[in-house]
Every structure is written in C-alpha cells, then in structure tokens.
Amino acid sequence: MDTAQGYVLVTALALPLLAAGVLLFVPGSQKMVARYFSAVIGAILLGLSVYVFLAYQAGGDVLQMQLRWAWIENVGFLGENGISLHLGVDGISALMTLLTGVVAFAGTLVAWKLEYRAKDFFILFWILIAGVYGTFFALDLFFFFFFYELAVVPLYMLIGIWGSTRKEYGAMKLTLMLVGGSVGIWIGIFAVVHEAGLGTFDLPTLWEAGQNGAFSPEMQKIIFPFFAVGCGVLAGLWPLHTWSPDGHMSAPTSVSMVHAGVLMKLGAFGIIRLGIQILPEGAEFWMPALLVLGTIGALYGAIAALTQRDFKLISGYSSVSHMGYVLIGLATLHEVGVSGAALQMFSHGVMTALVFLLIGALYDQAHTRDLSDFGGVAKVMPLWVIAYVMAGLANVGLPGLSGFTAEFHIFVGAFKTYPVFGGLAILAAAIAAAYMLRMFGVVFFGPLNPRWKDLKDLSPIETISAVLLILSMLAMGLWWSPFTDRLANTVTSLPGVIS
C-alpha cells in the first residue's frame, strides 16, 4: 500500500468538507471572502486531482494509493475491518477524479457571479463535491453509500433555493427519484453483506469473496438489478431518466455543471463498482437488458433533444442520450467498450459542463432560453459561440475532440459484441449532429435580433473556466493514450470483461 499517496486522497476528500465547515462561520455578508476562498479551494482540488490522475501508474496494480483507517470493527455483527475508511483509486476512478477536479473548479468560478446567499451556496456546493470525491475513492461499501447519499442530498436545496423555472418541482422530483434509486442500492448492500457473512463492508474483501463463490448465481441474478437500477436512476437510465430534463432545467448553472458533468457519472460508476465487480454473474445475465435500455436511452434522448426549444432541455435530453452510450459501453462487457464507457464519462462530463456554463452565461443576460427568441448571436458574443461550437462538435463526436475518442471506443466495442446495437448507437450520434446543427443555425447565425444587441460576451472568469474545459476536451481528443493506458489494466481486471 502506498500510504503516502493515500493521504492525497484523504486531503481531496477532507478539503471540501473543511471548506464547508469554515464557510459556516463566515458572515453571510462577506460574499467576496466566500468567493475567493472557494476559488482557492477549487484550485487546490484541481491540483490534487491532476496529481492523482498523473500519479496513477498505468502499468501498476489496479488499486493504487490505498489507505485504510479502521472506523467501526469487532463490535456487534462487525468483525475485523468491519467498516473502515478504505480509500483508493483504480484507473476508472483516477479518471473520474480528474473530471471532478476540472468540473468542480470550473463550477466554482461560474458561481462567482451568484449574489443571493452566496455563502450558503458554497457550503452546500462543497458538501456535494466531497460526496463525489468520496464515492470515487471509497473501497468500503458503507462509505461508498455514505458519500453517494451525501452527493445527492444537497441538490434539493441547491436547486430549490437558487434554481429557476419550476425550481421546487424540479428539486423535489430529482431528489425523490435519486434517493428512491438509492433504496435499491441499500437493499443490495444488505443482501450482499449478509450473504457474504464476513461481517465486513470492505469492497476488495467482498469482491474476493464473490470470486470464491460466496454469492450464488441465483442470488446474483436477483440482486444485480437492485444495484443496476438504483445506480441507473442517477446515470439517466431510460425510463428512469425523467428527473434529468426537469432537474437540469431548474438547477442553477454551476449545479447543472457539476450535476450533469460529474454526478450522473456516479451512477455509471456505481454500476461498475457494485454491480459488475461484486456480482459478475448477475451482471453477465442482465447486461443484454441494460444494453437495450441504454440504446433506447441514446436514441430517445437524441430524438427528444431534436424537438425541444429550451437550451437546457436540449442539454438535459442530450445528457440522457450520452449516458445511454455509457451504458451501451458497459453492457458490451468488452475491453474496448468498457474503456469507451469510462472515456465517455469523462468526455461527456467536461463537454456538458461547458454547455451548461454557456447556457448560464446567456440566460443570466437574456432571461430566456427559448431557441426561437435568438438569432445571429455570433455577432455579439463571438467567444461564447466559439466555445459552444467546440462543445457541440465534441457532442457529435468530431475527431480531435474527446467525444470522438470515447464514442469510437464504444462503437468498436459494440460492433464486436452486438453489431446491431452498434449500428443503432451510430444512428443516435447522427441525430445528435442534427440537433446540434439545428441549434447552431437558429441561434448563432442568421440576422441578429435587435433585442440582443447589448448582450455581453463571456466574462474573464467564465472564459478561464471555459478554456479549462475546452483544454480537457482537446487533451482527450488529440492524445488519448494517457487516458486509455490508465484504464487498460483496470478494465481487463473487471470480472467478466472479455478482451
């Protein structure tokens, strides 16, 4: 165990919580203090996340930077290492850590212009980020669930207080659907820990027990759907995706960024961590079903996006579509497809964060998000349009941007295992091109609506944030071997994945 590096994980986990604690004692009127403080915390977290990603050795052990602190043990039904704060990263979670750092920092910068109860916003925001890091780091079922819930709960207030359009409805729907999903995870945890009978929540121990046949195939087939559907709700699994458009429409900009950018990935990550790794035989049995639902989601999201007129609804449905690709990639259980799913999680994360940032920048000035209200925006907001075009092209999978790398892997994986579904996935990508180009045409070009002649371009802070996200997209699009190399060992080590 490389404990010294483990402390980096502990820091990344504790820092946002500490930030929330400190902010609690900052007077609400000191908005600038809260902003600068949060920006500094965000920058440090970005640094730590980049470190975690770079320090993860591509050819080494699957789990690195492990650290274990005993929490509750040898009491009640709990035995040795009953519940421990066991942290560590594999290739997938290292990539997700990087994503979290990038999106969280960008989100902090975007929240700069928030005026109403800014301090309270940052407190909840940092609790959410701590939950996200914790879920990616946790190698203990108890703490996995702990942080998973921690990431979901602040959303109610973040959307309910700072949101827009129908915010109370969106907040309640989103919270109830996501927590409802976690009931499934909870039941799965009860069944798995009971069935293993080891008195421990330690994930590597449970994975090992699973490989030694602690979970009968029948039990795996029954319990896997609890994990898959429970996590699937957060991953935008069709038909449980309906919180996504409503939630994203109501959420404030930086919450949309983090939510679509990172939180939805927690769901897909949970399917890997809990579903595939604990219950491989259950996963194998149910994957065709997941493939069908993922494909429907990809197509449905794309078609729905084609018909929407609200920017945020388009992105909300496009997220459903892209998360559909992730599920298709996972469902192939093929080395290339699963790598593609992980790449897509990153790619969609940065791309969608950028999109929500840009929508927020426009909406704050225009107070409308209806496509047909706009026209010729390129004349007044050139930077904004360039950034949007980049995000849009990543969305449709243009070579050179991250979307291409990710989707290409997924399509290859799908064609090797289920060619028909590979074809359908490509069809969804084609529809994505249609809705993106329609939006470009309507909003960016054409005659300028005089109502918008006073629109201001991106502010310097927003530009920094956007550039950071664009660089991430370019990095994965142009030079993907640092990404794929780190994933390779992890993906092949997943039980049931064929190469």
Per CB under 8 A, residues contacting other proteins are 71-73, 75-77, 131, 142, 145-147, 149-150, 153, 156-157, 160-161, 168, 172, 175-176, 179-180, 182-183, 186-187, 189-191, 193-194
Cα distances (Å, whole numbers) of residue 7 to 4, 11, 55, 64: 6, 6, 13, 12
Cα distances (Å, whole numbers) of residue 491 to 62, 90, 93, 340: 9, 9, 11, 10
- List alpha helices for 333-439, DSSP H: 335-366, 382-396, 402-417, 419-439
Instruction: Identify which of residues 141 and 257 has a Cβ nearer to other proteins in the complex.
Output: 141
In whole angstroms, how close is the CB of 176 to other proteins at the nearest point?
6
In whole angstroms, how close is the CB of 127 to other proteins at the nearest point?
9
Residue 159: CB atoms within 10 A of its CB come to: 29
Answer whether 302's CB lies under 8 Å from 313's CB. no
Answer whether 235's CB lies under 8 Å from 323's CB. yes
Strand partners of residue 68: 86
Answer whether 164's CB lies under 8 Å from 247's CB. no
CA angle 321-324-328, nearest 5°?
145
**Residue closest to 271 by CA, chosen among 293, 298, 253, 246:** 293
Instruction: Identify which of residues 194 and 367 has a Cβ nearer to other proteins in the complex.
Output: 194
End-to-end CA distance of the chain: 28
Instruction: Identify which of residues 72 and 437 has a Cβ nearer to other proteins in the complex.
Output: 72
Instruction: Identify which of residues 189 and 494 has a Cβ nearer to other proteins in the complex.
Output: 189
Residues with Cβ within 8 Å of residue 32, at least 6 apart in sequence? none
Instruction: Identify which of residues 83 and 323 has a Cβ nearer to other proteins in the complex.
Output: 83
Strand partners of residue 69: 85
Q: HSE (CB half, 13 Å, CA atoms) of 498?
A: 9
In whole angstroms, how close is the CB of 401 to other proteins at the nearest point?
37
CA distance 333 to 499: 9
Q: At what angle do helices 402-417 and 382-396 cross, to 10 degrees?
A: 10
In whole angstroms, how close is the CB of 349 to other proteins at the nearest point?
23
| Longest distance between any two alpha carbons in the chain, whole Å | 72
Instruction: Identify which of residues 145 and 435 has a Cβ nearer to other proteins in the complex.
Output: 145
Answer whether 222's CB lies under 8 Å from 253's CB. no
Instruction: Identify which of residues 199 and 288 has a Cβ nearer to other proteins in the complex.
Output: 199
- Sheet strands (E) in 73-162: 83-89
In whole angstroms, how close is the CB of 153 to other proteins at the nearest point?
5
In whole angstroms, how close is the CB of 75 to other proteins at the nearest point?
5
Instruction: Identify which of residues 6 and 160 has a Cβ nearer to other proteins in the complex.
Output: 160
In whole angstroms, how close is the CB of 278 to other proteins at the nearest point?
15
Instruction: Identify which of residues 160 and 477 has a Cβ nearer to other proteins in the complex.
Output: 160
Instruction: Identify which of residues 197 and 399 has a Cβ nearer to other proteins in the complex.
Output: 197
Q: In this structure, what token pair is assigned to residue 92?
A: 């997938």
In whole angstroms, how close is the CB of 419 to other proteins at the nearest point?
39
In whole angstroms, how close is the CB of 32 to other proteins at the nearest point?
21
In whole angstroms, how close is the CB of 77 to other proteins at the nearest point?
4
